[in-house]
């Protein structure tokens, strides 16, 4: 990653923050993208104080115009983008009959359309340079049905297949596109669903009445576990890997 330019969406915290820190520690100059401008600047400052190169670029990935403008600004300020990680995401839970139109639209606006906006803006610029790699953070729910996660699972499945199609179209330009699919990960997105410590145990042990298998490795993932998988797929060690779907869930989806 030394001397590369990397863009990370959802970089204000959670998995996106871990990915940004990991890439910065490996020598990348990281453009941090998120709509939470205040938290984003805190993350950027922490990384700079650690001796890394990190710059905050507040943006709403649901806006095509904002995305195009911010990617242009990144390239003008930092240089040509070599790596992209689509980590921005939202979670709206509820049974399908209880989901509102706004729940559905907001979920897809960030998790799917946002991935499209950012990937398109970056890959358009990568193609003439005939190099680059991107990873989209999906979910093991993209391939395994989950109770009360219809909108989230569908949005992540769409983002996963979009990324693979993009990988097919851009392979001739030397651009690799892969997917990392986490399971339960200790982030604010997950813990916001927990009422008490029993919720963490339920994730590990499983919930039979919800047809949910537990986690065979008997632990919830750390954001760093996911970031390490992303780092591998962006690195030269994965130079012959594209359109791959790497699940990082401790076996919760039983290898699906």
User: Which residues are annotated as catalytic?
Assistant: 152
Euclidean distance between CA atoms 10 and 20, whole angstroms:
9
| Tokens read off for 69 | 């403008």
Cα Rg, the chain, nearest whole Å: 17
Give the number of other Cβ atoms within 10 Å of residue 220's Cβ. Answer: 21
Extract the tokens encoding 251.
Answer: 């076996």
Output b/e per residue, 182-207; b: 16+ Cβ within 10 A: bbbbbbebbeeeeeeeeebeebbebe
Q: Alpha helix (H) ranges present in 101-149? A: 101-108, 114-129
Helix (H) or strand (E) holding 178: strand 175-182
């Amino acid at each position: 990653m030394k001397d590369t330019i990397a863009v990370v969406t959802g970089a204000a915290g959670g998995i996106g923050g871990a990915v940004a820190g990991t890439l910065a520690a490996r020598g990348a100059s990281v453009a941090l993208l998120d709509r939470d401008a205040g938290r984003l600047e805190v993350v950027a400052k922490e990384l700079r104080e650690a001796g890394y190169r990190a710059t905050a670029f507040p943006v709403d990935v649901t806006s095509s115009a904002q995305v195009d403008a911010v990617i242009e600004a990144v390239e003008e300020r930092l240089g040509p983008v070599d790596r992209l990680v689509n980590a921005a995401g939202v979670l709206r839970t509820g049974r399908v009959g209880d989901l509102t139109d706004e729940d559905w639209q907001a979920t897809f606006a960030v998790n799917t359309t946002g991935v499209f906006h950012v990937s398109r803006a970056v890959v358009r610029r990568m193609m003439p340079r005939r190099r680059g790699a991107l990873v989209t953070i999906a979910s093991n729910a993209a391939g395994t049905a989950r109770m009360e996660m219809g909108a989230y699972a569908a949005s992540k499945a769409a983002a996963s297949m979009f990324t693979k199609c993009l990988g097919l179209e851009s392979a001739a330009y030397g651009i690799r596109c892969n997917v990392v699919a986490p399971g339960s990960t200790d982030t604010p997105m997950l813990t916001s669903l927990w009422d008490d410590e029993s919720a963490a145990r339920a994730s590990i042990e499983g919930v039979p009445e919800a047809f949910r298998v537990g986690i065979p490795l008997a632990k919830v993932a750390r954001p760093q576990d996911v970031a390490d998988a992303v780092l591998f797929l962006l690195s030269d060690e994965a130079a012959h890997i594209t359109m791959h779907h790497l699940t990082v869930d401790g076996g919760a989806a039983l290898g699906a």
